[in-house]
Structure 1
């Protein structure tokens, strides 16, 4: 029994008139009559009593209708679910954001997106840059907020936003004794606490190259991704950490200082697969820009040319 035959049968069972049923199905009456006969022949029963002026369902027809209606309803539910997966069509937009995205950015982003695309549900996923790029190319995400440099070959990208980085130090570190910006070479020999390379390989390498070019060769490298663990390692004297200015007070015993000349920065943008470009992604790109701007990021075109070896975001 084919799905289309079930639909023909259900419409005729509702109309009990071949002409009206054919009109609803956008087909001629003779083919509809033939399809119903084929269905009756396949099932070995009469579904309609055609002997009366107005056709009626037989007992077998009424029983079949009870089984067909849930099937057709389930098919329509499945179709609607698939439609809702298409971003921008009163559906869901699946997006990735970096694990360390600040709460104010997420709040502004989601509120701004809701204003721009009220009929689209935003489905946020906490993913590293590398994880986002993989899922974008596999069709599991519609857009992502990634940090550069990154392998975005084959992807479209929105405007870059920049946030200068500084350094988190123990308060007894020599570079923490005044408010002056810290030169990278003044950190030479200190251990560096940094995100694991697998999270953003190109950014990781770029940051270490920038540190080397600035005269900072870490005495050791320790990997951590949870902010509390990172700060715990710094507080325990196990290294220094490079990051943007904190949005909340640091733990007692820690300080943040800017870097002299701003040699390092998070460079962040929204990226997407070109074939999936639509109004919902455009709305998300604008909303992400609003969230980043509110958190202190600046459009790159408002920033002077960076010094050689500048790093982007993770």
Structure 2
């Protein structure tokens, strides 16, 4: 199995046919078909099936497409890093961020960082903490910006100061004019939970003997906030995540030391970091 075969395979999927892929790759159709046949023989699996003169991925083909993209991306990153190392360039920043970490990173301080380092190039992925950690382990990114709770033995960490969790809601749900609240104030209220903090919140509800009405558990912090904006209920998120909301949202800090979250930079121990990535970690430390 060769890297170019994976690139051919990805191109065929993107173009929808061998004929179109061959044109894009500036080659004739028979050699391309032969390369895919050789790839299938090496794998011992069928990648495509035909129906009504169209090509479709088999179940194995769908799985192998994800792996092929990871391998090709990793290969490109390695080549880029070798080039930067040999030429002693400042390099690229291969980074993944969770949505709730974005307000801390993409701010006015970053403008100054970019002004001081105009040649730095970013390659940014966005997803939840598990997704970011998996990208780190596969070598697709070199730095992850995630939120606590998070603990893995194979990573280095820089942990920022913890921030309080907050409730966010439209004015209809606002029970008083105070700027903070206790966890007990949520008893009986309609709550929207981001799954990342579901276990911690449920433990806190149980410990404080309260029973809010959980109307939705979301897989995305932005969806959690959006549903609060639409009036479904009261969202619970880290304070900085609330900054992404519109001006009509009311928020209160929850005064509970067990309900806090910290933004963290993580990278694999003993992993190579470009000069740019080291500079970025210094920037993150000083935020």
TM range (shorter): 0.5 to 0.7
Q: Cα offset for 1:166?
A: 1.6
> How large is the RMSD of aligned CA atoms in angstroms?
3.4
CA contact (8 A) 2:193 2:214 kept: no
DSSP 3-state at the match of 1:210: helix
TM-score normalised by structure 2 residue count: 0.59
DSSP 3-state at the match of 1:286: helix
Matches of 1:172 and 1:78, distance apart in 2: 50
The CA deviation string for residues 164-198 of structure 1, in whole angstroms up to 9 with x for no partner, is 2221133233x532215211112123232122x3x
Matched, 1:247 2:228: no
Q: Specify whether residues 214 and 289 from structure 1 end up closer, same or farther in structure 2 by C-alpha distance, changes over 3 A only.
A: farther
Gaps of at least 5 residues in structure 1 are 1-76, 294-314
Q: Specify whether residues 219 and 269 from structure 1 end up closer, same or farther in structure 2 by C-alpha distance, changes over 3 A only.
A: same
What corresponds to 1:260 in structure 2? 255
Q: Specify whether residues 276 and 189 from structure 1 end up closer, same or farther in structure 2 by C-alpha distance, changes over 3 A only.
A: same
Gaps of at least 5 residues in structure 2 are 1-75
Name which one, 1 or 2, has greater alpha-carbon Rg.
Answer: 1
What corresponds to 2:133 in structure 1? 133
Q: Cα offset for 1:120?
A: 3.7
Matches of 1:79 and 1:232, distance apart in 2: 39
Matches of 1:99 and 1:111, distance apart in 2: 19
Q: Cα offset for 1:95?
A: 0.4
The CA deviation string for residues 246-299 of structure 1, in whole angstroms up to 9 with x for no partner, is 4367453x4111223454222111000112254443322222244xx4xxxxxx
In the TM superposition, 1:1-314 aligns within 5 A as 81=80, 83-84=82-83, 89-102=89-102, 105-108=105-108, 110-114=110-114, 119-173=119-173, 176-195=175-194, 197=195, 200=196, 203-224=197-218, 229-243=223-237, 244=239, 246-247=242-243, 250-252=246-248, 254-276=249-271, 278=273, 279-290=275-286, 293=287
DSSP 3-state at the match of 1:172: helix
Which structure shows the higher strand fraction? 2
The CA deviation string for residues 181-222 of structure 1, in whole angstroms up to 9 with x for no partner, is 211112123232122x3xx4xx44223323432344332241
CA contact (8 A) 2:166 2:252 kept: yes
Q: Specify whether residues 213 and 116 from structure 1 end up closer, same or farther in structure 2 by C-alpha distance, changes over 3 A only.
A: farther
How many residues in Structure 1 have an aligned counterpart in Structure 2?
Answer: 208
Matches of 1:183 and 1:124, distance apart in 2: 37
TM-score normalised by structure 1 residue count: 0.55
Matches of 1:166 and 1:78, distance apart in 2: 39
Runs of 4+ aligned structure 1 residues displaced above 6 Å come to 77-80, 85-88
Q: Specify whether residues 97 and 108 from structure 1 end up closer, same or farther in structure 2 by C-alpha distance, changes over 3 A only.
A: farther
Q: Which moved more, 1:233-242 or 1:109-118?
A: 109-118
Q: Specify whether residues 166 and 215 from structure 1 end up closer, same or farther in structure 2 by C-alpha distance, changes over 3 A only.
A: farther
